[in-house]
Amino acid sequence: MKVSEAIADILKREGVEVIFGYPRNAVLETAAAIGIRPVIVRQERTGVHMADALSRLTRGKQIGVFAMQHGPGTENAYGGVAQAYSESVPVLVLPQGYARRIAHIPDNYNATVSMRDISKLAEPINVAGEVGNVMRRAFTQLRNGRLRPAIVELPWDVLSEEIPAPLDYQPTRSNRFGPDPEAVRVAARMLVEAKRPVLYAGQGVHWANAYAELRTLAELLAIPVSTSLEGKSCFDETHPLALGSGGAAIPGQLRHFLDEADLILGIGCSFSETAFGVRMPKGKRVIHATLDPADLNKSVPCEHALIGDAQLTLGMLIEACRELIDGPRDSAPVAAEIAAVEAAWMRAWLPILTSDDRPMTPYRVLWELQQTVDVANTIITHDAGSPRDQLTPFWKTTTPLSYIGWGKSTQLGYGLGLAMGAKLACPDKLCINVWGDAAIGFTGMDFETAVRERLPILSILLNNSAMAIELDIMPEATERYRATDISGDYAAFARALGGYGERVERPEDIADAIRRGIAATQAGQPALIEFITAKEKRASRL
């Protein structure tokens, strides 16, 4: 068989059902020939985003795969790979490469070299007979340890070479490890003795499927639970012990409990410092439970560490804590404090969330959205900038993996591909991306991909005709040259591409427009509802 056929065969054995890409790359054709669905995008970065979402929503049971042509196609994909790397998502990237004899000429883009810093593994297949070994190493990295992209570069001249059949290849496995039992006992005593502990849960809880364990530990010790952006939806945010999630914008109750905490247990998180994540208060005692020891003391000093899988770690902590207490603690006082602080915070925000102003506030749009959809059967994601800050603090998730949160590299345009990938992974869910009018400029043409590939997602577009969060820092450029102005009729754009498009200018029309958009998706048509909103400079009031 040819090398390209062997790669497709290996993908099939590893459980891959969909391959995202942009031609030319021979693996797209050989994969299709054995029943792996090719999804062809309009822009490479969006394809990587779709692969990213597929990996997330299946918790790695299906690894998202993206294949593209050598040179410009590979160069265009770089941003998507960097995004997956920053968010710790396993994606197999199969860039076609230049022929081996010219692969290292400086003018020729070499993915193995250029993507090494944004991947766990970056390796070319330079010898046809090594295809199995290279792919095995890649999938092993994709399934084990901290999850991040793996790059396997395919020089174009190697893809057509022959290797013996049948192929000798065994699918890879995921392996887990837990923390030192003595370290767990120390951590348990710290938690039991703390007066105001807080649990801060990250994306590792999703990957480890540790939802039940997280809830059990919280209820056992009556500890309030917050999440990172990436961890959002790993804990029911309507639970009495839930503090919610935030980033640059943060719910009042979350800020209150973090600032008042005497001990913070970070579980399945990196604590990476970022302008778009939850700011940890300084001077707190911290237990850091993470899969990757490289995270320890990176951004947040920790007094104690637990290294291992989040589910195994939480399970061991639960047993160790049960040995130290007589039974579950009364959570009523903590729940009452959470409810009181949240109620006071919401009193300040409800006039904005329910405002009848025209142009309408984006907060009213997103508040109505949450009241209109079936939250438990919805998967939603934001885009970079204002939509993230306007959505995250208020949207209350109730089921795992119903919110795709992100906030490290924070490239504009990420949300569309995530929503499309989510729809592939969960076709029975309503999948929503919340766009700003800046973000649609980066990946908007891939709305046509949703139409062509029959992925009926709902896009909520907040259009204020400006790069609003830049207004404060570009006053002269705006006044003199209108440098922050942007414009477009995006509902008409959606219709032109074959989707459902509707423009809304009055707050009283929001809910009905959303219902019409949902009805369009239920009929199999991607929908874009464009809301004309006021220029909210930033979510600084949070």
pLDDT at 108: 95
- This prediction has a pTM of 0.96
Q: Averaged in consecutive runs of 10 residues, what is the pLDDT profile of the chain (542 residues)? A: 97 98 96 98 97 97 97 96 97 97 94 97 97 98 97 97 93 97 98 98 98 98 97 98 93 97 97 90 97 96 98 98 97 98 97 96 97 98 93 97 93 96 98 95 96 98 86 88 89 98 98 98 98 73 45
The answer to whether the beta carbons of residues 35 and 8 sit under 8 Å apart is: no
The answer to whether the beta carbons of residues 223 and 337 sit under 8 Å apart is: no
Q: Where are the alpha helices (DSSP H) in 122-263?
A: 131-143, 156-159, 181-193, 204-208, 211-221, 252-260
The answer to whether the beta carbons of residues 316 and 184 sit under 8 Å apart is: yes
The answer to whether the beta carbons of residues 76 and 39 sit under 8 Å apart is: no
Helices (H), strands (E): how many in the chain?
21, 18
Residues 6+ apart with CB under 8 A from 327: none
3-class secondary structure per residue, 1-67? CEHHHHHHHHHHHCCCCEEEEECCCHHHHHHHHCCCEEEECCCHHHHHHHHHHHHHHCCCCCCEEEE
The answer to whether the beta carbons of residues 404 and 418 sit under 8 Å apart is: yes
The answer to whether the beta carbons of residues 349 and 342 sit under 8 Å apart is: no
The token pair at 314 is: 């939480």
Distance of CA 432 to the CA centre of its chain: 13
Distance of CA 13 to the CA centre of its chain: 26
What is the full DSSP assignment across 500-533?
EEEEE-SGGGHHHHHHHHHHHHHTT--EEEEEEB
Residue with the two structure tokens 């998507």: 80
What is the full DSSP assignment across 239-287?
STTEEEE-SSS--HHHHHHHHH-SEEEEES------TTSPPPPTT-EEE
Tell me the domains of the chain and their CATH numbers.
Answer: 3-159 (3.40.50.970), 181-335 (3.40.50.1220), 354-532 (3.40.50.970)
